[in-house]
Each structure stands twice: as C-alpha cells, then as structure tokens.
Amino acid sequence: MSHLTTAHVLDVAVRQLRAGSGEKIVFLHGASGLPQWNPFFEALTQNYDVMVPEHPGFGASVAPKTLRNIADMAMYYLDYLDAHGEGGVHLIGHSLGGWIAAEIACRNSSRIKSLTLMAPAGVRVKGVSIGDNFIWSIEETIQNLVVDQALAEAMLSRVPTEEEADLLIANRFMATKLGWEPRWLNPALENWLHRIKLPTQIIWGDTDRLFPAAYGERWRMLIANSKLTILERCGHLPHVEYPLVTAQTIISFLNGAAK
Amino acid sequence: MKFACFTLMPYRPLDMAERNKHRSAWVMLPNSLYDPQKGADEYDSYINQLVYAEKLGFDIIAVNEHHQTAYGMMPAPNLIASALIQRTTTCKIAVLGRALPLVNNPMTIAEEFAMLDTLSRGRLIAGFVRGIGTEYHAMGINPAFSHERYLEAHDMIVQAWTRPGPFEFEGEHYNNRYVNLWPRPYQTPHPPIWVPSQGSSETIRWAAAPEHKYPFLVTFAAQDLVVRYLNMYRDQAKEFGYEASGEQLGWAAPIYVAETEERARAEAKAGAESLFNDYLYNPWEMLLPPGYMSVSSMKATIKMRKALGSRPRTHTIDSLMESGTVIVGTPKTVREQIAKVRDQTGVDNLVSMLQFGVMSDELALRNMELFASEVMPHLR
C-alpha cells in the first residue's frame, strides 16, 4: 500500500506516491504518467522509503510556462531533490524518467547515491530506429510495449474512467512537449554522460520495441563502470511485465555496488 | 459575393488498392506509389484549370499547402502561385495558406509573400494556417508549441511587412537580430491576410479581434457547422464592439453542378467519396497529435466524436450531400443552397472546390464552366 501525498516544488503541487522506510528511493516515471502501485514498488518498500512523484504538467498538475523541455525538467528535479532528498537518494528512472534522471545526474549528483536507468530515452543509436509511440494507436502501443500479449489484452480491457482519460490526455500533451522533436533525444546528452561517476545500473528488456536493446549497450559504453542487465522476453515496461525480477535486480545492485 | 476557384491538386493516379494497405494517404503512404511522369501531368492539368478560372470570371484562384501526402501535391504552394502569376493578369491569387509553425524562421514566409505580391503587382492574398496535425508528423515540428509558434510567426511576418527595418525581433520561438525585408510587399500596408480554419473558437476570436479583422474561412464542414462558425465570428466581432462585414467571412466547399440532380450526383460521387474516405481520412493519432489543440479543446473533441459514433471512411455521396459538406445539384439547387448559407451568415467569399478527389479533368472543366455561367452571376 502506498500513500498518496503531495510534493511542492516551485509553486507546483504534484501527486506523489510514498511508502516504506529506510534509505530514500526516488522513482521517475515514464511518458504514460504516474504508475499504478504494483508488486514492483511493494518489493522496494521492504527496505526503502520509496517516493514516486508525478512530473509537473502530468496528471492534474499545471506545469508553469517555464517548464518547456527536458533541461527545465532536470532543473526542476534538482529543486525537488533539495526539498525532498535530504541525506541523498537512490534515483531510478524509467524511459522518459530515465532520461530526466541522466540529465539531473550530469548537472549535479550531490544528492544522488546511485542511478538506475530502465530503458531510458535521451540517447540515439544512429541507424537503429526507435518505435513511434506518437503514431501508434492505443492498441498498437500497448501491444508493442510488452512481450506478453495476454498482459497486453488485460491492460487494454481495462476501460479508464472519464477522469483517468482526461489525465491521459494531459500526460500525452506534456510528454509531447518533452519528447517530440528531436524524438526522445537530446543530441548533446551523450557528450556529458562522462560526468556521471555514480554507481549506475542500466536495465533493458531484450524485446523492447520502443527503444531497442541495442540502446542499452550504447548507454553502458557512455557511462563509465555502469552495469547493463538485459531481461529476457521482456519489453519496454520491465517493472510491469516482471515486477519482482526487476525489483530484485535493483535491490541486489543497491546492496552490492551501490553500497 | 466573390468567388474563388480552389484546388488541392490531389494525386489522382493513386493505386487505391495499395493505398488501402496503409493507415492513411499521409506521411506513411510509401512514395513508391508516386510516378513522377504522372505527377507532371497532374500539375499541368491543375494549373491549366486555375488559369482557365480567370477567363471564366472567378475573382480569385487559390492553392494551399500540405506535406507528404497524395491528398495534395503542394508542399510549396508559393511555387505554384508564382507560376499562376505569370499566366494570369487580373484575378487575385490566394495561398490558403502557408503553415506558419512548420518553419524555423518565418522571415522566409514574409519574404516569399512579399515577392509574390510584387511579382503580381498586388494580387496576392496571404493565408496563415497551422497545417493539419499530420504536418507535425511529416515535418518533425512539435505540435505542443503549434499555437505559440503560429501567433509569434504571425507577429514577426506582419512586423517585417510594416515596420521600417532594420529592427530586431525578440520572441520565444523566433529571434532575428536583423529584420529588414527587401523587397517589401507591393500592397499597403500588406497583402490581405486570410485565416482558413476548421472552426476552433480560439482561432475565430483571434481572427475577429479589432487589431486583426482577418477574413475567416471555414473549410470542409457540414452546413450547420459552417453557419454556426461564421456566426461565431459575427458574435465575436459584436463583443469587440463592431459589426463584421461579409468580406470578413468565407466558406470553402466542394461543389458540383450538372444539368440534372441525378447526373450531378452520379458524376460527383467518385470524387467526393474518394476525397473524404481515401485522401483526407487520418487516424486520430495522425490528425490530432497531442498539443495540436489545447487539452480542454481535445477533451471536447473526443467527447463529440464519441457521441457521434462516427465510423471511419464510411462517407457516401448521399451522406455528404445531406449534411451539406458537399454541394451537388442543378444550377438552381446549388444556387439555393449557397444563397441559404449567405442569408443565414452574410458570408461574402465562396471558395469553391470544383475538382476534388479522383474527378477527371473533363468533369472538372464542365463543372467549372457551368458553375461560372449558371451559378456565379446570380449570386454576385
């Protein structure tokens, strides 16, 4: 069980899921918005104080006009860490959230103890095209994001309430601001990833149809001493498709290299 | 009323069986389906039609911009406008319009329009649009900033046309240390600006504002919506404290005229159905990318669509005629339909699309001639 709380940064109030106790984990979500609390998060709470803030502009929060791109989001989260990261945090980011996490860590990692990037956006492997989640229909998107098509069907069969549907529109709007062009990419980011000296683990599904697994190898090369873990028969949502395996992969890393 | 002859320049030799294997005739339709020889023939046909329109007495000939699509072969409408200027002498040439947010420096649009205005000695009408959602997929421009870029590009272009240069333009999306147009526009203060739109209330309010008073052109809508949007403009003008003139209102529609109702319906059928079902249709994700509309407009649009329960690509000539999206009939019934909308709204500009979809040159020319001789004079 998580508590729905509110985090205030820069005059923006965003929703934040929080549970557990111990060292702090901050999980930065992907483009589809504040995640469902599931066994992945539950497993992490056994030993950690897990905070899952909603990005400003997502959900019902109104992003200030000053938050227009990924660099702005990184600066926003540096303020967030000043406000909520006392004592340092283990930073985990998925997809869009992974990109933001890497941008933060390049700028200032003084409040970050370790970095876990799950299929992050932000870097390109020339010649290896990524999927186009902006042109895919909702059905195609879900089918392409997970390998297990029974899971895809279950996800699609759940009809969102009107309120949830409204939030999804807002999420897509904000994700578009951040990732449309260049598509899910900051061309300069790879020039600065050498600044990340944190214990870093990169997690990728071997059958990610949005960001192919070749991108994982690229990230491993760009961040010195980082560790790449490839999950088999897994798509773009490791924490949804394999919640316990993914949580265990992160916990082992935090107990080992990141200690 | 004033009459424009407008064409989208659709690529008619399209293999429809192949087209139907793809989600849209836009962006994702492989250009291996395009034949350059046939494309050249298409340009000849359409340019000849527009040049002929001047001889038939149309006040305006008009083109527009779309990208990566068989729906219209004019990614650069100013090139066509330039060719039309050389082959005509008196009619206005309307570019309806250039999609402002798609360029990274609107100076190029200010410059090109100034050149066309000069080349034509003041015959240019400059349309300012955002482009439909697909253009943002085609051109890689972020739809979430489409509105902001449109407004800012507009400011930059109008200033470039009217303020003595050089001056500096300082914007959010566009910045230019030196704005100093050579040549300046031929018309004073600048060519008329028209705003074609599908009827968003934000656009209508902006176009009607006293500092703009830009003619607003409703494109491709059912007749009740045409009436509603044009009267929204009138109401906005009243709110701003003035009465909108008919010249500030325009309506663009496919029109087909023949000697009998049956013949008109039969001859317009393939053109109208292919236009709406095969060329124009786009799935939701392509037509309305996130941010293209405000979140609140998007929510309203989704709700309206759900309520209508519309199934894609099922338009028929009868459903299109019934809603008044296309105007098809004898000269008498076509005159009556147009007069009805004119009487309900005071609209003064009719942008007639007399070739549409797969319609042949032969039918298009006959349609133009009949429209010019039997419809236009009665509504002037």
Q: Are the Cβ atoms of A181 and B291 closer than 8 angstroms?
A: no
Least CA distance to B141: which residue of chain A? A181
Instruction: Check pLDDT > 70 for residue B143.
Output: yes
Mutate to test the interface with B, among A65, A144, A176, A184 (most CBs of B within 10 A): A176
What does the pLDDT read at residue A259?
A: 67
pLDDT tens readout for residues A14-64: 999 999 999 999 999 999 999 999 999 999 999 999 999 999 999 988 888
Least CA distance to A141: which residue of chain B? B285
Q: Are the Cβ atoms of A177 and B299 closer than 8 angstroms?
A: no
CATH class (in words) of the domain with range B2-379: alpha beta
What does the pLDDT read at residue B42?
A: 98
pLDDT tens readout for residues A214-223: 999 999 999 9
What does the pLDDT read at residue A49?
A: 97
Chain A residues contacting B via beta carbons under 8 Å: 134-137, 165-166, 169-170, 172-177, 180-183
What does the pLDDT read at residue B308?
A: 62
What does the pLDDT read at residue A62?
A: 82
What does the pLDDT read at residue A193?
A: 98
**pLDDT bucket at B294, cuts 50 / 70 / 90:** confident
For residue B1, what are the CA distances in angstroms to B257, B337, B347, B349? Answer: 18, 14, 8, 6
pLDDT tens readout for residues B103-132: 999 999 999 999 999 999 999 999 999 999
Contacts of B137 in chain A (CB under 8 A): 134-135
Segment A3-9 shows an average pLDDT of: 86
One-letter amino acid for residue B301 of the chain: T
State the sign of the Cα–Cα–Cα–Cα dihedral A208, A214, A218, A223.
positive
Segment B189-193 shows an average pLDDT of: 98
Contacts of A66 in chain B (CB under 8 A): none
Q: Are the Cβ atoms of B295 and A135 closer than 8 angstroms?
A: no
Q: Are the Cβ atoms of B137 and A134 closer than 8 angstroms?
A: yes
What does the pLDDT read at residue B301?
A: 79
Indicate the length of chain A as a whole number: 259
Mutate to test the interface with A, among B148, B285, B294 (most CBs of A within 10 A): B285
Mutate to test the interface with B, among A69, A73, A134, A186 (most CBs of B within 10 A): A134
Instruction: Please count the other Cβ atoms lying within 10 Å of the Cβ belonging to residue B179.
Output: 18
- Tokens for B195, please give them: 């705003």
What does the pLDDT read at residue A10?
A: 80
Contacts of A176 in chain B (CB under 8 A): 142-144, 289-291
Contacts of A136 in chain B (CB under 8 A): 285
pLDDT tens readout for residues B210-244: 999 999 999 988 999 999 999 999 999 999 999 99
pLDDT tens readout for residues A114-148: 999 999 999 999 999 999 999 999 999 999 999 99
pLDDT tens readout for residues B152-175: 999 999 999 999 999 999 999 999
Q: Are the Cβ atoms of A181 and B283 closer than 8 angstroms?
A: no
Instruction: Check pLDDT > 90 for residue B10.
Output: yes
What does the pLDDT read at residue B53?
A: 98
Comparing A5-14, B56-65, B126-135, which segment has the lowest mean pLDDT? Answer: A5-14
Mean pLDDT of chain A: 95
Least CA distance to A57: which residue of chain B? B295
Contacts of A182 in chain B (CB under 8 A): 140
What sections of A5-69 are H helices per DSSP?
39-44
**pLDDT bucket at B202, cuts 50 / 70 / 90:** confident
Instruction: Check pLDDT > 90 for residue B307.
Output: no
What does the pLDDT read at residue B304?
A: 73
Shortest alpha-carbon distance between residue A252 and chain B (Å)? 39
Segment A66-79 shows an average pLDDT of: 96
One-letter amino acid for residue A39 of the chain: P
Q: Are the Cβ atoms of B144 and A176 closer than 8 angstroms?
A: yes
Contacts of B286 in chain A (CB under 8 A): 135
Mean pLDDT of chain B: 96
Give me the residue from B140, B143, B283 closest to A176, CB to CB.
Answer: B143
Instruction: Check pLDDT > 90 for residue A81.
Output: yes
Least CA distance to A175: which residue of chain B? B290
Instruction: Check pLDDT > 90 for residue A235.
Output: yes
**pLDDT bucket at B302, cuts 50 / 70 / 90:** confident
**pLDDT bucket at B264, cuts 50 / 70 / 90:** very high
Segment B177-187 shows an average pLDDT of: 98
Within 8 A by CB and 6+ apart from A26, the residues are: A51, A52, A53, A80, A81, A84, A85, A89, A90, A91, A92
Domains in chain A, ordered, with CATH?
A: 3-255 (3.40.50.1820)
